[in-house]
Structure 1
Amino acid sequence: MNRFILKSGLVIFGGAVQGFGMGLFLFPHFIPSGGAGGIAVLLNYLFGLGMGAALWIVNFSFLLLAVNYFGKRFVVWTVVGITVTSLSINFFQHQDLIANRHLIYDLIIGSVFLGTGVGILMRQGVSNGGIGVVALMISSGRDILPGRPLFLLNACIFLITALIIDLKLIFLALISQWISTKVVDLICQLNFQPVYTLAFRKKT
C-alpha cells in the first residue's frame, strides 16, 4: 500500500511538473514539447482547441494502440499521468505569472521542467504518452532501441508544425528536446528514492 501511495504521488507530481513547464513556458510560444505536443499545437493553431484537451486526446489515442503491447496496468498509469499533465497545462495557461516574457528564458526553463516531469514519470515505469508509445512499439517489434524511431517521428511532426506555423519552431523544438532529454537522463540516474521500474516490457 505504501508503495502504491508513493507511486501515485510521484506520477501525479511528475505529470503536474511536466504540465507546468509546457503550459507556462513552452506552449505560449507554440514550442512543441514532443511529437504529441506538436500535434496539439497544430490542433490549437488550426481549430482553436485548448492545448490541454488537445494533448490529452492525442496522447490517449496513441495509448489505445499500446494496450496489447504493454498491458492495461501500463496504460492506466499513463492515463493518470497524461490527465494530470493536461489539467496542469489548462491551469497554468490561464495564469498571468510572467510579466515580461523572453523566448530563450522560457525555452530553457520550460524544457528543464518538462524533462524533470518526464523523468519522474519514467522512473515509475510510466510513459508520458504520445509518440513515445509508438516509438516503444516500433522498438519492441523490431528489437531496436527506441531513440531513433522517437527522434525521426518527432522530427517529422516538428517539421510539419514549423511549415504551417513558423519555420523557427523546428529549431526551438529540437533545442527543447535536447535539454529535456538531458534532464530526463539526469533524473533517471538519481538515487533519491527507489525506482519502481525503468523497463517498458512488452506484454506477455
Structure 2
Amino acid sequence: MRSFWKKHGLVMLGGICQGFGMGLFLFPQSIPSGGAGGIAVLLNYWFHINMGPALWLVNFSLMLIGVKYLGKRFTLWTFIGITMTSFSIDFFENHFSIPNRNVFYDLLIGSVFLGTGIGILMRNNVSNGGVGVVAVMISHYRDILPGKPLFIINSMIFLITAAIISWEIIFLALISQWISTTVVDMICRIEIPRSYSLSWRKKP
C-alpha cells in the first residue's frame, strides 16, 4: 500500500511539473511541448479548443493504442498522469502570468520542467501520454532509453505542425525537445538505492 501511494504521489508530481512548464512557459509562447502538444496546437488553431482539453483529448486517444501492448495497469496510471497534466495546464494558464516575458527564458525553464515531469513518470513505468506511449513501447522493445525515440517522433510532428501554421516556431520547438528529452534521460539514469527506487523499467 505504501508503494502504491508513493507511486501515486510521484505520478501526480510528474503531471504537475509538465503542466507547470507547458501552461506557464511554453504554450504562452506558442511552443509545442511535444508531438501531442503539436497536435493540440492544430486543434486549437482549427477548432479553437482550449489547450488543456485539447491536449487531454490527444493524449487519451493515443493512450488507447498502448492498452493491449502495455496493459490496463499502465493505461490507468497514464490516464492519471495526463489528466493531472491537463488540469495543471488550465490552472497555470488561467491563474498565473509572467510580466516582461523573454522567449528564451521561457523556452529553457519550460523545457526543463517538461522533461522533469516526463522523466518522473517514465521512471515509474508511466507514460506522459500521447506519443510518449509509442516512445515507451519502442524503448521496451529495443531496450533503450526513451528520450531518443521521443525526440524523433515529436520532431516529425513539429514539421507537420509548422508547415500548416508557421515555420517560425519549429526551431524553438526542436530546441525545447532537445532540452526536455535530455532531462528525461538524465532522470532515467539517476541511481537510487533499490529500497527507495521506483524504476521507469520493471526489474526482472
TM-score normalized with structure 1 length: 0.89
Question: How big is the shift at 1:96?
Answer: 3.6
Contact 2:123 2:201 in 1 (8 A): no
Aligned to 2:197: 195
How many residues are aligned here?
200
Aligned to 2:49: 49
Question: How big is the shift at 1:188?
Answer: 2.3
Over the residues paired in the alignment, what is the CA RMSD in angstroms?
A: 2.1
Aligned to 1:158: 158
Contact 1:70 1:200 in 2 (8 A): no
Q: Distance in 2 between matches of 1:169 and 1:6?
A: 38
- Give the letter aligned to residue 198 of structure 1: W
Identity of aligned residues (%): 62
Contact 1:19 1:89 in 2 (8 A): yes
Is residue 74 of structure 1 aligned with residue 82 of structure 2? Answer: no
1:133-156 CA-partner distances (Å, limit 9, x unpaired) = 124445666x47566653342222
Q: Distance in 2 between matches of 1:116 and 1:144?
A: 21
- Give the letter aligned to residue 78 of structure 2: T
Q: Distance in 1 between matches of 2:148 and 2:20?
A: 27
Aligned to 2:180: 180
- Give the letter aligned to residue 188 of structure 2: C
Aligned to 1:24: 24
Secondary structure at 1:178's aligned position in 2? helix
* Structure 2 residues without counterparts, runs of 5 or longer: none
Question: How big is the shift at 1:192?
Answer: 5.8
Secondary structure at 2:95's aligned position in 1? coil
Contact 2:22 2:33 in 1 (8 A): yes
Q: Distance in 2 between matches of 1:124 and 1:160?
A: 31
1:93-114 CA-partner distances (Å, limit 9, x unpaired) = 1124301111111000100110
Question: How big is the shift at 1:182?
Answer: 1.6
| Bigger mean CA deviation after superposition, 148-157 or 85-94 | 148-157
1:20-40 CA-partner distances (Å, limit 9, x unpaired) = 000110011111111001001
Dislocated runs of 4+, deviation >6 Å: none
Secondary structure at 1:31's aligned position in 2? coil
Secondary structure at 1:66's aligned position in 2? helix
Query: Within 5 A, what are the aligned runs for 1:36-185?
Result: 36-137=36-137, 143=142, 145=144, 149-185=149-185
Q: Distance in 2 between matches of 1:99 and 1:82?
A: 28
- Give the letter aligned to residue 89 of structure 1: I
